[in-house]
Amino acid sequence: MTLVFCSDVHAPVMRGGGDRHLPFIKFLQYLQRQDIDGLFILGDLFDFWFEFGDVVFGRGLPILKELSNLADIGVDLHFLVGNHDYWAGRFMEEQVGIEVHKGPIELKLGKKRVLLCHGDGLNPEDRGYLFMRKVLRSPWTIAAFRLFHPELALRIGRWASSTSREQIYVNLEGKRKEAEAIRAFAERQILERARDVVIAGHCHIPVIEEFSSDTHQGTYYNLGDWLRHYTFLVYENGTFRYCRFDPETRQVSEWTDGSVAETEAKRTEESAVP
């Protein structure tokens, strides 16, 4: 059995969003030529997503088309909603063929207990976000939002998405706190709940980290993103491999701790340039 895990594509659905979704479309086309059994997307597939019944944002259709092609050839598709696209639902399930999960899920892969989650909402210090998260996900808020015209909804989504992206992706301190909260959560799940593998996203930083105690050990993977890293995880023949997709050559290579460190160091240097 071969499974693929990825997250944080942040494909634009608004005017002026650019073409940053194209690497992921190439990746989905690459997967269509591989012999895989399942694809798990761990949130933030889109920069903003909301379904008005059978009405959705047209700029998201190219990615949904490629996902539907995967479903048509028998690939089992799963989508764990993120903080940018929590409101995905019936359209994706019925028209695309994706099973939508509103929270973390656990898989049993061989003898391994594997926990999948997006990773948002784990920082207890971020009380403002936790409050807004609860409000925005309430049935009353969702029902009221559906009364808006989709164009107005997009404008609101543009503001909300840019605010979240500024906090998590551009603001280095905010990103660090989110990454630390996810890491601490993964450590607890492994050492206290006897999970063998924890896979998350959200903080946009590729991570491979081992945790161990006298009684248990396990591995935490953070999937990085598709804005800069183009990283993903593969489960095959009982083992996990961390990989990177090159959008230019459409080739896959192994992603190592060294490449993570080098990339983060380069990004730190670039951010320091006035």
Pairing of strands 2-6, 38-41: parallel
Q: Residues 176-197: pLDDT tens digits? A: 788 999 999 999 999 999 999 9
Contact between residue 187 and residue 224 where contact means Cβ atoms under 8 Å apart: no
| DSSP single-letter state for residue 89 | -
- How high does pLDDT run on average in the chain? 82
On the question of pLDDT at 78 being above 90, the answer is: yes
pLDDT, one tens digit per residue, over 134-188 is: 666 667 766 666 656 566 555 655 655 554 544 444 455 656 788 999 999 999 9
Q: What is the CATH number of the domain that holds 78?
A: 3.60.21.10
User: In this predicted model, what pLDDT tens digit does every residue of 206-238 receive, in sequence order?
Assistant: 999 999 999 899 999 999 999 999 999 999 989
67-71, 258-262, 268-272: least confidently modelled range: 268-272
Backbone angles phi, psi at 258, to 5 degrees: -60, -45
Residue ranges making up the domain that contains 12: 2-272
Q: What is the pLDDT of residue 24?
A: 96
Q: What confidence score (pLDDT) does residue 122 get?
A: 79
Number of domains observed in the structure of the chain: 1
Largest CA distance in the chain: 57
Distance (Å, whole) CA 274 – CA 141: 42
d(CA 98, CA 100): 6
pLDDT at residue number 153: 59
What are the residues whose beta carbons fall under 8 Å from the beta carbon of 63, sequence distance 6 or more?
Answer: 9, 11, 21, 24, 25, 28, 45, 46
User: pLDDT at position 261, please?
Assistant: 45
Higher pLDDT, 245 or 83: 245
217-223 and 197-200 beta bridge pairing: parallel
CA–CA distance, 244 with 251 (Å, rounded to integer): 8
| Residue 173, pLDDT score | 60
DSSP three-state, residue 235: strand
Mean pLDDT of 31-54: 87
Q: According to the model, what pLDDT value does residue 128 have?
A: 65
